[in-house]
Structure formats: C-alpha cells, structure tokens
Amino acid sequence: MAHTQIEFYRERLYDLGRGPSGQIYRYVLTVSLKVDARAKLFLSNDMVNVRTGNLRSSQAPPVLTNVGTRIIAVLQNTASYSLVVHEGSRPHDILPKRRLVLAGWQYEGAPVFARRVHHPGTKARPFLRNALVEVFTTI
C-alpha cells in the first residue's frame, strides 16, 4: 500500500507572506508596479487627452500594507480632477461662487459673462481599471 504525507509548516507559510522579503509580498509588489506602468501608458496615449501631463505625473507609486493576513496594494492618482477623468461626470450647471456672474471666456475676442453655464458632462476614461484588467488577463 502506498502512503503519501504532505506537511505544511505554518512558520514557512507565514514567512512567504510576511514583510518585504516574503515571496507573496514581492509578487503583489511586482503586479502592482505593472498595473502602475500600464496606467501611466494609458495616460500618455489617446485614451486621455493630454495637455499638460499633470494627470500622468500625479500617478503615485504603489503602496503596500499588511493588514492582518492580507497584503493590500494601493494605487492612486493625486490630481484633484483624477476621479472625474476616471469615472466621468453627469451633465450639470456651473454657477458662480463669489460673484454674480461667471467670466473668463472669450468669444470672437470679446469677454463673455454668464450667470449659469450648462456643462454637458464628460465621458469616463477608467485608466486604472483598464490597466488592472489588462495586467490580470496576462497573468
């Protein structure tokens, strides 16, 4: 009769996931760096219209944290408007905050003043989500 025994050493399994030297930790870091690089690539092409490059340069490097038995990678963009670019916006009205009218536009060389401006909304450009999906389909 054949007999097979498999032993799991709890300490060794714990070491795989613990700290920056653990293999699982390094794997999560590698994958998160790939997602970060892909997101920056999406921010440089036609997916997002680039004018200044501020959105791309605001892409923060991934941060890994241990929470109990989980390793969490946080990818974020620190630009104030990154959520609007990523998720899009609904049509909405823009009203003045401090003055009676909005100013600052020019039409045929003359300044334009308005009490209210209707913004048609923006299409979502989910650069982080698309980067995540693309990296995980290749793993």
One-letter amino acid at 119 equals H
Question: What confidence tens digit (pLDDT) does each residue in 10-32 have?
Answer: 566 666 666 666 777 788 888 88
The predicted model gives 25-41 an average pLDDT of 88
**Residue 1 pLDDT exceeds 50:** no
The predicted model gives 45-61 an average pLDDT of 82
Residue 121 zone, left/alpha/beta (φ > 0; ψ -120 to 50; rest): left
Question: What confidence tens digit (pLDDT) does each residue in 80-121 have?
Answer: 988 898 899 999 999 998 888 888 778 888 888 888 989 999
The predicted model gives 47-60 an average pLDDT of 83
Q: Residue 18 forms beta bridges with which residues?
A: none
What is the model's pLDDT at position 93? 94
Residue 99, token pair as written in the block: 């003055």
Q: Which residue has the tokens 């979502």?
A: 124
- Spatial separation of the C-alpha atoms in residues 139 and 135, rounded to whole Å: 7
**Residue 8 pLDDT exceeds 80:** no
pTM given for the model: 0.73
Q: Which carries the bigger pLDDT value, residue 134 or residue 22?
A: 134
Q: What is the DSSP track for 107-118?
A: ETTEEEEES-EE
Residues in the chain, overall count: 139
Q: Are 82 and 60 in contact (CB under 8 A)?
A: no
Q: Which residue has the tokens 């913004």?
A: 119
Q: Are 47 and 125 in contact (CB under 8 A)?
A: yes
